[in-house]
Amino acid sequence: MKTTTGSFEKTPGWLDWFDGPAKPRFALPAGAVDAHCHVFGPGAEFPYAPERKYTPCDASKAQLFALRDHLGFDRNVIVQATCHGADNSAMVDALRHSQGKARGVATVKRDVTDQALQEMHEAGVRGVRFNFVKRLVDFTPKDELMEIAHRIKAWGWHVVIYFEAVDLPELWDFFTALPTTVVVDHMGRPNVQHPVDGPEFSLFMKFMHQHENVWSKVSCPERLSVKGPKALNGEQQAYQDVVPFARSVVETFPDRVLWGTDWPHPNLKDHMPDDGLLVDFIPHIAVTPELQRKLLVDNPMRLYWPEE
């Protein structure tokens, strides 16, 4: 039996802990891509990895596709999350059921076969993700990652990197030696209590300035914000402390930015973000229709659907 929250149709089990995302007030441009989201399980069908550092809520492909339609997106890029390790079956299954409206980013190990890469490519995988966030993963030797990067380059794939700002200096040489397009998750997780023109974020901007193969997702204000969804002074501008960071990346590198919801928001314990509100954040960081079209349509299409 289906229940309805506002205009949003809920199936049983649909985010039981959250009363449904709002309908965004910001109308997404036609063909918009949610370029960072996940599917989790369902665990009974696609078990979580034994080595995982957290167990998420189940978040199925059907729920993701319903959210896509509810928010007004046209397509998804589904990113393999650490709780599924290097078993990409749930993500690949979602791609295969998306009717061409989803592409994927996988996690692979050195022993991945060429046949497995080919099957993933045919399903719609276009990148691999290297995760350096210590609370999420154990260390993988850099020579193994570099070997993977060179193999996937042959498929025209790119590398997505997830790290925290304090670790950029140590990871710099590795990142700048990667042979593919490199997409940074969530602007390299800056500490938004530091100044936007301070040394930490300036190093990130320098990373992008000096390396034209580096792109950034300007996503996850809900992870980066200290102020949260409502500003302390009572204004309704959500996550306003993240705006200067994301806006400067969008305006400086308009052709190398992507945006995603990060649904279903793993590991967020203090508040569960409203995806409708997250969409309403977009015009604060991409303030013109042209920037919005690049961020939401042109750039993700160039990277994930270059044949169209």
Binding segment for ligand 0GY (CB under 6 A), chosen from 62-70, 79-87, 145-153, 194-202, is 79-87
Are the C-beta atoms of residues 9 and 235 closer than 8 Å to each other? Answer: no
Catalytic status, residue 270: no
For strands 8-10 and 3-5, give the pairing: antiparallel
CA-based radius of gyration for the chain: 18
The answer to whether residue 291 forms part of the interface with ligand 0GY (CB under 6 A) is no
Question: Rounded to an integer, what distance in angstroms lies between the CA atom of residue 270 and that of residue 93?
Answer: 31
Question: Rounded to an integer, what distance in angstroms lies between the CA atom of residue 288 and that of residue 63?
Answer: 31
Which helix (H) or strand (E) segment is 203 a member of?
helix 199-210
The answer to whether residue 185 forms part of the interface with ligand 0GY (CB under 6 A) is yes
Residue 112, both tokens: 């991945």
Binding segment for ligand 0GY (CB under 6 A), chosen from 22-30, 43-51, 78-86, 91-99, is 78-86
Binding segment for ligand 0GY (CB under 6 A), chosen from 19-27, 62-70, 75-83, 227-235, is 75-83
The answer to whether residue 85 forms part of the interface with ligand 0GY (CB under 6 A) is no
Which helix (H) or strand (E) segment is 104 a member of?
strand 102-106
C-beta of 273 vs 276, nearer to ligand 0GY: 273
Binding segment for ligand 0GY (CB under 6 A), chosen from 68-76, 259-267, 284-292, 296-304, is 259-267
The answer to whether residue 262 forms part of the interface with ligand 0GY (CB under 6 A) is yes
Out of 62, 136, 272, 287, name the contact with ligand 0GY by CB under 6 A: 136
Out of 180, 267, 284, 305, name the contact with ligand 0GY by CB under 6 A: 267
Out of 35, 83, 187, 291, name the contact with ligand 0GY by CB under 6 A: 83
Question: Rounded to an integer, what distance in angstroms lies between the CA atom of residue 178 and that of residue 189?
Answer: 20
The residues in 156-175 that bind ligand 0GY, with binding defined as CB under 6 A, are 162
x/- contact string, 217-256, with ligand 0GY (CB under 6 A)?
------x---------------------------------
Rounded least distance, CB 249 to ligand 0GY, Å? 17
The answer, yes or no, to whether the previous bond of 264 is cis (omega within 30 of 0) is: yes
Helix axes 61-71 and 89-96, enclosed angle (nearest 10):
50
Contacts of 46 (CB under 8 A, 6+ apart): 84, 87, 89, 90, 93
Binding segment for ligand 0GY (CB under 6 A), chosen from 63-71, 85-93, 260-268, 270-278, is 260-268
Instruction: Name the β-bridge partners of 8.
Output: 5
The answer to whether residue 81 forms part of the interface with ligand 0GY (CB under 6 A) is yes
C-beta of 220 vs 297, nearer to ligand 0GY: 220
Are the C-beta atoms of residues 153 and 177 closer than 8 Å to each other? Answer: no
Are the C-beta atoms of residues 255 and 299 closer than 8 Å to each other? Answer: yes
Helix axes 89-96 and 114-123, enclosed angle (nearest 10):
40
Question: Rounded to an integer, what distance in angstroms lies between the CA atom of residue 180 and that of residue 149?
Answer: 7
Q: Could you say which of 58, 262, 274, 275 is catalytic?
A: 262
C-beta of 212 vs 216, nearer to ligand 0GY: 216
Which positions are catalytic?
A: 262
Task: By CB under 6 A, name the binding residues for ligand 0GY.
Answer: 81-83, 131, 136, 162, 185, 223, 262, 266-267
